[in-house]
Homo-oligomer: A and B are copies of this chain.
Amino acid sequence: MELRTLEYFVAVAEERSFTRAAARCHVVQPAISQRIRALEKELGEPLFERLPRQVVLTSGGAALLPHARACLAAAAAASLEFADRSGLLSGTLVLGTAGGLEGTSVPRLLGEYHRRYPGVQVRLTGAPSPVLMAQARSGEIDAAVIAEPPGGLPHGLGSRCLLEDRFVAVLPAGTRDPDHPMTLAEAARCPLIGYGSGSGAHAFVRDAFAAQGLQLDIAYATADIALQVTLVAEGIGIALTSYTNPLLRLDQRIVVVPLEPAIRLRKVLAWRLGNRPGPPLRAFLDLLTELPHTTHPTSATAEAPQDPQPAPQD
């Protein structure tokens, strides 16, 4: 009987579901199944009754639960005591991003994270999405905020959705009715400003164009949204960029138009899996589930465009 096993057990008991318990513990579901089964074998009797719609404790499970809680509480108390001594939680959290943290709840998360764990050194690094994914897999960075690739994330990476985003067309103000969607064919006829082919976002637009038999030709490639907006304002062309950037709603020189059909992308936090994440990352993931954070762009960007961004300790 090990602490981690009891942790899983309590999670299943409280969530009444193996799947949800796995999510809470940041592991895949079969891992929970196996260890619960091993525990049941060790104790000699089943702990849960697997019903079709939910999982309930057996009498044995009910008997174990208080002990398991007491055990975990004692361990937690010990951790807490040592956390007090050495600045709560210590360590380093290296977060990679391909840009576009604006509009997500990540800045607010980082603020809360920094308030709770001032002992953790948070480092932000920037790189294109593919590079970030490789770095996350190799353990060079703890996690990355990236757009989920069209083909799904590569193996060995876990993810959690941060934001359901979509691409929009950005045109000079006054040139178009904002409620009038733009077709991809129409966009393809204009000089295009957008993410370069090295970027992860590029693939989405390219695939969407290809699905319509169109070829994507980015005239001005940059990942800098401010620059994209400026280029549009200068009349260079139209930008295809993600909706959830505060600039798109603040800059008066431009108008934002939906695309038809919509090009959606999910911004996710991706991290390496294979062994349970270290304490700093685990705390971050826990924060992600704990804090109410919407994955819908409208409300998120409407309420906090100029969130006080915490200065990550470099």
Contacts and interface: CB of A to CB of B under 8 A. Distances in A.
How many copies of this chain sit in the oligomeric assembly?
2
A286 interface: no
A242 B72 CA distance: 53
B45 A78 contact: no
A212 to B, nearest CB: 55
A116 interface: no
A258 to B, nearest CB: 51
Contacts of A1: 3, 75, 78-79
Nearest to A65: B78
A157 interface: no
Contacts of A6: 75
Contacts of A70: 70, 74, 77
Interface stretch (A80-88, A139-147, A287-295): A80-88
A180 interface: no
Contacts of A79: 1, 43
A2 interface: yes
A185 interface: no
A74 B67 contact: yes
